[in-house]
Chains A and B, each alone.
Chain A
Amino acid sequence: MDDDTRRINRIIAELGDGFLKDHGFTIFNIHIRSVAKGLVLSGECLTDKQLALLKKSVRSLSLTQKAIFDVNVLTGGGLVNRSDKWGKAGKSLVNVTNDMAGSKLTTQITQNDNYFRIIAQQDGMALVQLEDRTLGWVNGGDISIHNMDLSERRSGLRLAERGKTLTVSSIEPLFCEASKYVNKVKYLHGGKSTGGMDCSAFVQTVFKDACKIIMPRHTLDQMRCGIRVPKKSIGSGDLIFAKVKGRRIMHVGIALFENDGMIFHSCLREKLVIRENIDDFFKHYTFAGAARIVEKAP
């Protein structure tokens, strides 16, 4: 083993230990192989931030060989060939939490949701990855587990993609679907059901039911989808991202332009899914970006 490889391995071990302390569990399997162009770091980690930290740490080493990164970020790129076990919600609403102790509600799954991948099972709990690539823990008693291959669980759904829009026959269904929740469903952080949902879960639910498009679970991940649009070019169906004024809390809603600009969102302030004039919206939120996920077919 050369000196560069030894130094990188030390960084990988130190980072992996640190991530374990942060998350309680992590997936940080990075391997090094030597090629003509340098050293390739390949494998998988859990989050974009872990990969960013790995890159920063390796670059600070002043290596004699070039470091080439080929790392799959599991919450962004999906888990591949890890397991043939798939789960379904076994009751009307199943909580997905950030750790085995259920400290924080990450999201929720219902019996209508598609199959999700079982990553690991431990002490009556299961680590799962949902179709939107969210990772979290569920109580093993709340789900049913099936062995099946890919062809059996095809859903006809499309994943929202980075840097491109998806074509739809009409964007009207987005507003029909969004309207179903207005003034009826309350805001619930981490919630994703008619019993309560947060802003990103509202966007996710509307896009899935109206356009069969799977959006990521979290606001900042939704911001990475589609193409960025300047504020002056926002159109109906675009996502508007904003920060709560004076805070570093991200928020998202769906724009609708009829006579006036409107936004559908699960509102932190009103604790309810609402349809609001966009000027009123920006009295409480600061614009942080806009993204176009879908475009009407020509």
Chain B
Amino acid sequence: MVKCPECGEIVELIDGMETGEIIECGNCGVELEITSLTPVKLEIFEEEEK
């Protein structure tokens, strides 16, 4: 279990997810990058301009 760094709600990862994957916080909708799996760490992901 890991908390969203934006809103503090629990974010659930599905089995098999990898470091580097982008997920969405189901509560606040912010995009999060999985930066570590052991322990699970999430950082807010903001896309840069192309």
Please indicate the chain A residues that have their CB under 8 angstroms from the CB of B20 in the complex: 243, 286-288
Write the nearest CB–CB distance from B15 to chain A, whole angstroms. 7
- A56 in contact with B6 (CB, 8 Å): yes
Chain A 37-67 per-residue mask, 1 if CB under 8 angstroms from chain B, else 0:
0000000000011011001100100000000
| Docked CA distance A86–B31 (Å) | 33
Contact (A59, B17) CB under 8 Å given A51-B29, A248-B48: no
Interface string of B6-27 (1 = CB under 8 A from A): 1100000011111011111001
Interface residues on B, range: 20 to 34
List CB contacts (< 8 Å) of A233-261 with chain B. 233, 241, 243, 247-250
> Are B47 and A248 within 8 A (Cβ)?
yes
B46 in complex: contacting residue of A48, A248, A289, CB < 8 Å: A248
Q: Mark A209-220, 1 if CB is under 8 A from B, else 0.
A: 000000000001
CB-based contact B18/A49 at 8 Å: no
Cα distance, A52 to B30, chains bound together (Å): 7
Q: Bound complex: CA of A243 vs CA of B33, how far in Å?
A: 11
- Flag the segment in A26-34, A137-145, A222-230 that touches B: A222-230
A232 within 8 A of partner (CB):
yes
Complexed CA–CA distance, A241 and B20 (Å): 11
Question: How many residues of A sit at the interface, in one of the four size bands?
Answer: 20 to 34
State how many angstroms separate the Cβ of B26 from the closest Cβ of chain A: 10
Which one, B14, B22, B24, contacts A250 given CB within 8 A? Answer: B22
Considering the chains assembled together, what is the distance between the CA atoms of A250 and B23 in angstroms?
13
Give the CA-CA distance A119 to B33 in the complex, in Å: 34
Pick from A52, A73, A224, A288: contact of B7, CB below 8 A: A52
The answer to whether residues A56 and B48 also contact, given A220-B22, A224-B24, A231-B16 and a CB cut-off of 8 A, is no
Report A's interface with B, CB cutoff 8 A. Answer: 48-49, 51-52, 55-56, 59, 73, 189, 198, 220, 223-224, 228, 230-233, 241, 243, 247-250, 268, 286-289
A to B CB contacts below 8 Å, 14 in the list: A48-B29, A49-B29, A49-B30, A52-B7, A52-B29, A56-B6, A56-B7, A59-B7, A223-B24, A230-B16, A233-B16, A250-B47, A288-B20, A288-B21
Other A-B pairs, 9, CB within 8 Å; known A49-B30, A52-B28: A55-B7, A224-B24, A228-B14, A230-B18, A243-B20, A247-B48, A287-B21, A288-B20, A289-B21
